[in-house]
Protein backbone atom coordinates (compact mmCIF):
# COMPACT_ATOMS: atom_id res chain seq x y z
CA UNK A 1 0.00 0.00 0.00
CA UNK A 2 2.79 2.40 0.90
CA UNK A 3 4.54 1.82 -2.41
CA UNK A 4 1.30 2.53 -4.24
CA UNK A 5 0.67 5.80 -2.36
CA UNK A 6 4.27 6.97 -2.81
CA UNK A 7 3.96 6.24 -6.52
CA UNK A 8 0.87 8.47 -6.59
CA UNK A 9 2.58 11.25 -4.62
CA UNK A 10 5.60 11.21 -6.95
CA UNK A 11 3.29 11.80 -9.90
CA UNK A 12 1.07 14.39 -8.16
CA UNK A 13 -1.97 12.11 -8.37
CA UNK A 14 -2.55 12.75 -4.67
CA UNK A 15 -1.23 15.54 -2.44
CA UNK A 16 -0.12 13.47 0.55
CA UNK A 17 0.62 9.86 1.46
CA UNK A 18 -2.04 8.80 4.02
CA UNK A 19 0.22 5.97 5.21
CA UNK A 20 3.25 8.20 5.86
CA UNK A 21 2.91 8.12 9.66
CA UNK A 22 1.76 4.52 9.97
CA UNK A 23 4.32 2.04 11.30
CA UNK A 24 4.14 -1.73 11.13
CA UNK A 25 3.93 -1.89 14.90
CA UNK A 26 0.64 0.08 14.74
CA UNK A 27 -1.04 -2.64 12.67
CA UNK A 28 0.22 -5.68 14.52
CA UNK A 29 3.50 -6.18 12.69
CA UNK A 30 7.11 -5.71 13.66
CA UNK A 31 8.62 -2.34 12.77
CA UNK A 32 12.02 -3.10 11.27
CA UNK A 33 13.01 0.41 10.20
CA UNK A 34 16.79 0.53 10.23
CA UNK A 35 18.85 3.33 11.72
CA UNK A 36 22.35 1.87 11.31
CA UNK A 37 24.96 4.56 10.79
CA UNK A 38 28.68 3.82 10.62
CA UNK A 39 30.80 5.84 13.05
CA UNK A 40 33.97 7.54 11.83
CA UNK A 41 36.18 4.94 13.52
CA UNK A 42 34.15 2.18 11.84
CA UNK A 43 34.78 3.77 8.44
CA UNK A 44 38.49 3.80 9.24
CA UNK A 45 38.31 0.19 10.37
CA UNK A 46 36.41 -0.79 7.25
CA UNK A 47 39.16 0.70 5.09
CA UNK A 48 41.74 -1.48 6.85
CA UNK A 49 39.57 -4.63 6.67
CA UNK A 50 38.58 -4.49 3.00
CA UNK A 51 41.96 -5.73 1.65
CA UNK A 52 41.53 -9.03 3.51
CA UNK A 53 37.90 -9.51 2.44
CA UNK A 54 38.82 -10.94 -0.96
CA UNK A 55 36.50 -8.55 -2.79
CA UNK A 56 36.72 -7.44 -6.39
CA UNK A 57 38.20 -3.98 -6.75
CA UNK A 58 34.94 -2.87 -8.35
CA UNK A 59 33.09 -3.95 -5.20
CA UNK A 60 35.47 -1.97 -2.99
CA UNK A 61 34.85 1.04 -5.22
CA UNK A 62 31.08 0.56 -4.89
CA UNK A 63 31.40 0.86 -1.10
CA UNK A 64 33.14 4.24 -1.32
CA UNK A 65 30.94 5.62 -4.12
CA UNK A 66 27.78 4.69 -2.23
CA UNK A 67 29.09 6.31 0.94
CA UNK A 68 30.35 9.48 -0.77
CA UNK A 69 27.33 10.10 -3.03
CA UNK A 70 24.51 8.73 -0.81
CA UNK A 71 23.20 6.91 -3.87
CA UNK A 72 21.14 3.73 -3.87
CA UNK A 73 23.20 0.67 -4.76
CA UNK A 74 20.83 -0.16 -7.62
CA UNK A 75 21.38 3.28 -9.13
CA UNK A 76 25.13 2.69 -9.17
CA UNK A 77 24.97 -0.84 -10.55
CA UNK A 78 22.71 0.31 -13.40
CA UNK A 79 24.91 3.30 -14.28
CA UNK A 80 26.41 3.64 -17.76
CA UNK A 81 29.57 5.51 -18.69
CA UNK A 82 27.58 7.83 -20.94
CA UNK A 83 25.95 9.15 -17.75
CA UNK A 84 29.32 10.08 -16.20
CA UNK A 85 30.77 13.43 -17.25
CA UNK A 86 34.37 13.66 -15.98
CA UNK A 87 34.72 17.23 -17.28
CA UNK A 88 31.67 18.65 -15.52
CA UNK A 89 32.27 16.20 -12.66
CA UNK A 90 28.65 15.00 -12.78
CA UNK A 91 26.84 11.68 -12.73
CA UNK A 92 23.34 11.69 -14.16
CA UNK A 93 21.02 9.09 -12.67
CA UNK A 94 18.26 8.84 -15.31
CA UNK A 95 14.62 8.59 -14.31
CA UNK A 96 14.45 4.91 -15.24
CA UNK A 97 17.21 4.10 -12.74
CA UNK A 98 15.79 6.22 -9.93
CA UNK A 99 13.48 4.80 -7.29
CA UNK A 100 11.09 7.78 -7.43
CA UNK A 101 11.15 7.98 -11.22
CA UNK A 102 12.89 11.36 -11.26
CA UNK A 103 16.26 12.06 -12.82
CA UNK A 104 18.96 13.05 -10.36
CA UNK A 105 22.36 14.68 -10.94
CA UNK A 106 25.18 13.89 -8.51
CA UNK A 107 28.20 16.19 -8.31
CA UNK A 108 31.43 14.20 -8.10
CA UNK A 109 33.77 15.34 -5.37
CA UNK A 110 37.51 14.72 -5.74
CA UNK A 111 37.07 11.63 -3.59
CA UNK A 112 34.22 10.21 -5.70
CA UNK A 113 35.78 11.16 -9.05
CA UNK A 114 38.87 9.20 -8.06
CA UNK A 115 36.74 6.13 -7.34
CA UNK A 116 35.05 6.39 -10.74
CA UNK A 117 38.50 6.68 -12.34
CA UNK A 118 39.51 3.40 -10.70
CA UNK A 119 36.28 1.79 -11.87
CA UNK A 120 36.78 3.08 -15.41
CA UNK A 121 40.24 1.54 -15.53
CA UNK A 122 38.59 -1.83 -14.84
CA UNK A 123 35.37 -1.69 -16.87
CA UNK A 124 36.01 0.86 -19.62
CA UNK A 125 35.45 -1.80 -22.30
CA UNK A 126 31.73 -1.93 -21.48
CA UNK A 127 28.94 0.67 -21.75
CA UNK A 128 28.00 -0.21 -18.16
CA UNK A 129 29.99 0.77 -15.11
CA UNK A 130 29.17 -2.63 -13.61
CA UNK A 131 28.67 -5.03 -16.53
CA UNK A 132 27.52 -8.62 -16.15
CA UNK A 133 29.88 -11.42 -17.17
CA UNK A 134 28.68 -11.49 -20.76
CA UNK A 135 28.79 -7.65 -20.91
CA UNK A 136 25.26 -7.59 -22.29
CA UNK A 137 23.91 -5.47 -19.47
CA UNK A 138 24.49 -4.49 -15.84
CA UNK A 139 25.01 -6.94 -13.02
CA UNK A 140 22.14 -7.90 -10.74
CA UNK A 141 21.30 -5.18 -8.22
CA UNK A 142 21.70 -7.78 -5.47
CA UNK A 143 25.32 -8.58 -6.37
CA UNK A 144 27.13 -6.11 -4.10
CA UNK A 145 24.76 -6.58 -1.16
CA UNK A 146 25.24 -10.34 -1.33
CA UNK A 147 29.04 -10.03 -1.38
CA UNK A 148 29.09 -7.68 1.60
CA UNK A 149 26.57 -9.75 3.59
CA UNK A 150 28.53 -12.91 2.86
CA UNK A 151 31.52 -11.39 4.67
CA UNK A 152 29.58 -10.46 7.80
CA UNK A 153 28.52 -13.92 8.96
CA UNK A 154 28.72 -14.81 12.61
CA UNK A 155 31.66 -16.99 13.71
CA UNK A 156 29.13 -19.68 14.65
CA UNK A 157 28.06 -20.08 11.02
CA UNK A 158 31.29 -21.91 10.22
CA UNK A 159 32.57 -22.60 6.72
CA UNK A 160 29.81 -22.88 4.11
CA UNK A 161 30.09 -24.28 0.60
CA UNK A 162 30.08 -21.78 -2.27
CA UNK A 163 30.49 -18.92 0.19
CA UNK A 164 33.44 -16.66 0.86
CA UNK A 165 36.04 -18.03 3.26
CA UNK A 166 36.47 -14.49 4.62
CA UNK A 167 33.23 -14.88 6.54
CA UNK A 168 33.94 -12.27 9.25
CA UNK A 169 36.21 -9.96 7.25
CA UNK A 170 33.78 -7.02 7.18
CA UNK A 171 32.20 -7.31 10.60
CA UNK A 172 32.20 -3.97 12.44
CA UNK A 173 31.71 -3.15 16.15
CA UNK A 174 28.32 -1.52 15.53
CA UNK A 175 26.88 -4.63 13.91
CA UNK A 176 26.02 -5.71 10.39
CA UNK A 177 25.74 -3.06 7.72
CA UNK A 178 24.37 -2.85 4.20
CA UNK A 179 24.88 -0.58 1.18
CA UNK A 180 21.75 1.32 2.21
CA UNK A 181 23.34 1.97 5.61
CA UNK A 182 26.25 3.58 3.77
CA UNK A 183 23.77 5.87 2.01
CA UNK A 184 22.23 6.80 5.38
CA UNK A 185 25.69 7.30 6.89
CA UNK A 186 26.75 9.68 4.11
CA UNK A 187 23.64 11.82 4.51
CA UNK A 188 24.04 11.91 8.30
CA UNK A 189 27.67 12.95 7.91
CA UNK A 190 26.59 15.81 5.65
CA UNK A 191 24.24 17.20 8.29
CA UNK A 192 26.85 16.73 11.03
CA UNK A 193 29.27 18.75 8.87
CA UNK A 194 26.85 21.66 8.68
CA UNK A 195 24.85 20.87 5.53
CA UNK A 196 21.20 21.92 5.84
CA UNK A 197 18.88 18.91 6.26
CA UNK A 198 16.83 20.04 3.26
CA UNK A 199 19.94 20.04 1.09
CA UNK A 200 20.92 16.57 2.36
CA UNK A 201 17.40 15.38 1.47
CA UNK A 202 17.89 16.74 -2.05
CA UNK A 203 21.19 14.85 -2.30
CA UNK A 204 19.26 11.68 -1.40
CA UNK A 205 16.76 12.48 -4.18
CA UNK A 206 13.86 12.11 -1.77
CA UNK A 207 10.45 13.27 -2.92
CA UNK A 208 9.03 16.27 -1.05
CA UNK A 209 5.88 15.02 0.70
CA UNK A 210 4.26 18.46 0.79
CA UNK A 211 2.54 19.09 -2.55
CA UNK A 212 2.55 22.88 -2.13
CA UNK A 213 6.33 22.87 -1.69
CA UNK A 214 6.75 20.56 -4.68
CA UNK A 215 4.73 22.90 -6.90
CA UNK A 216 5.91 26.32 -5.78
CA UNK A 217 9.43 25.80 -4.44
CA UNK A 218 11.32 25.08 -7.66
CA UNK A 219 14.77 26.23 -6.56
CA UNK A 220 17.15 23.43 -7.57
CA UNK A 221 19.71 23.73 -4.73
CA UNK A 222 22.29 22.55 -7.30
CA UNK A 223 25.12 24.72 -5.91
CA UNK A 224 24.35 23.76 -2.32
CA UNK A 225 24.17 20.07 -3.23
CA UNK A 226 27.51 20.24 -5.05
CA UNK A 227 29.07 21.83 -1.98
CA UNK A 228 27.50 19.19 0.27
CA UNK A 229 29.02 16.35 -1.77
CA UNK A 230 32.39 18.12 -1.78
CA UNK A 231 32.31 18.60 2.00
CA UNK A 232 31.45 14.92 2.45
CA UNK A 233 34.20 13.82 0.07
CA UNK A 234 36.78 15.96 1.87
CA UNK A 235 35.76 14.47 5.21
CA UNK A 236 36.02 10.92 3.89
CA UNK A 237 39.43 11.67 2.40
CA UNK A 238 40.57 12.93 5.80
CA UNK A 239 39.16 9.92 7.64
CA UNK A 240 40.75 7.39 5.30
CA UNK A 241 44.04 9.30 5.17
CA UNK A 242 44.16 9.14 8.97
CA UNK A 243 43.43 5.42 8.80
CA UNK A 244 46.23 4.85 6.27
CA UNK A 245 48.63 6.91 8.39
CA UNK A 246 47.84 4.91 11.51
CA UNK A 247 48.29 1.65 9.62
CA UNK A 248 51.65 2.75 8.22
CA UNK A 249 52.83 3.81 11.68
CA UNK A 250 51.79 0.47 13.17
CA UNK A 251 53.61 -1.45 10.45
CA UNK A 252 56.75 0.62 11.00
CA UNK A 253 56.64 0.03 14.75
CA UNK A 254 56.23 -3.71 14.18
CA UNK A 255 59.17 -3.79 11.79
Residue 175 dihedral angles phi and psi, to the nearest 5°: 105, -175
Burial classification of residue 201, based on how many CB atoms lie within 10 Å of its CB (0-12 exposed, 13-18 middle, 19 or more buried): middle
193 and 231, same domain (yes or no): yes
- 59 within 8 A of 73, measured Cβ to Cβ: no
Three-state SS sequence of the chain: CHHHHHHHHHCCCCCCCCCCCCCHHHHCCCCCCCCCCCCHHHHHHHHHHHHHCCCCHHHHHHHHHHHHHCCCHHHHHCCEHHHEECCCCEEEECHHHCCCCCCEEEECCHHHHHHHHHHHHHHCCCCECCECCCCCCECCCCHHHHHHHHCCCCHHHCCCCCCCCCCCCCCCCCCCCCHHHHHHHHHHHHHHCCCCHHHHHHHCCCCCCCHHHHHHCCCCCHHHHHHHHHHHHHHHHHHHHHHHHHHHHHHHHHC
- Residues 18-24 have a mean pLDDT of 71
104, β-bridge pairs: 93
For residues 151 and 157, give the distance between their C-alpha atoms in angstroms, rounded to a whole number.
11
11 and 108, same domain (yes or no): no
Q: Which residues contact 17 (CB under 8 A, 6 or more apart)?
A: 2, 5, 6, 8, 9, 209
For residues 65 and 2, give the distance between their C-alpha atoms in angstroms, rounded to a whole number.
29
For residues 203 and 232, give the distance between their C-alpha atoms in angstroms, rounded to a whole number.
11
pLDDT of residue 144: 95
Better-predicted residue by pLDDT, 16 or 252: 16
Task: Check pLDDT > 90 for residue 210.
Answer: no
135 and 11, same domain (yes or no): no
Q: What is the CATH number of the domain that holds 68?
A: 1.10.443.10
Confidence class of residue 254 from pLDDT cuts 50, 70 and 90?
very low
The answer to which of 101-115, 140-154, 167-181, 212-226 has the lowest mean pLDDT is: 212-226
- What's the domain range around 3? 1-33
Model pLDDT for residues 23-67, shown as the tens digit of each residue: 665 665 554 557 899 999 999 999 999 999 999 999 999 999 999
78 and 17, same domain (yes or no): no
Task: Check pLDDT > 70 for residue 13.
Answer: yes
77 and 181, same domain (yes or no): yes
51 and 129, same domain (yes or no): yes
Model pLDDT for residues 150-188, shown as the tens digit of each residue: 999 887 655 555 556 678 899 999 999 999 999 999 999
13 and 70, same domain (yes or no): no
pLDDT of residue 29: 57
User: End-to-end CA distance of the chain, in Å?
Assistant: 60
Quote the mean pLDDT of the chain. Answer: 84
State the pTM of this model. Answer: 0.80
pLDDT of residue 250: 45
- Residues 182-197 have a mean pLDDT of 96
pLDDT > 90 in the chain, percent: 65
93 and 66, same domain (yes or no): yes
Q: How many domains does the chain have?
A: 2
Task: Check pLDDT > 70 for residue 136.
Answer: yes
What would you measure as the largest C-alpha separation in the chain, in angstroms?
Answer: 66
pLDDT of residue 243: 55
178 and 194, same domain (yes or no): yes
228 and 210, same domain (yes or no): yes
Question: Which region holds residue 97: left if phi is over 0, alpha if psi is between -120 and 50, else beta?
Answer: alpha
67 and 163, same domain (yes or no): yes
- Residues 83-109 have a mean pLDDT of 94
Amino acid sequence: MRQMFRFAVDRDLISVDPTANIRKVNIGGKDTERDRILAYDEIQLLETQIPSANLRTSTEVAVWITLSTCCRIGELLNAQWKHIDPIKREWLIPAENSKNGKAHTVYLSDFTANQFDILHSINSDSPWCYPNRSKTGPVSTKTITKQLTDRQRSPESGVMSNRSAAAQALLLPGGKWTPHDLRRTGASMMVALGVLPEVAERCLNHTEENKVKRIYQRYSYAAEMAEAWEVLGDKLSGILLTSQSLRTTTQADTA
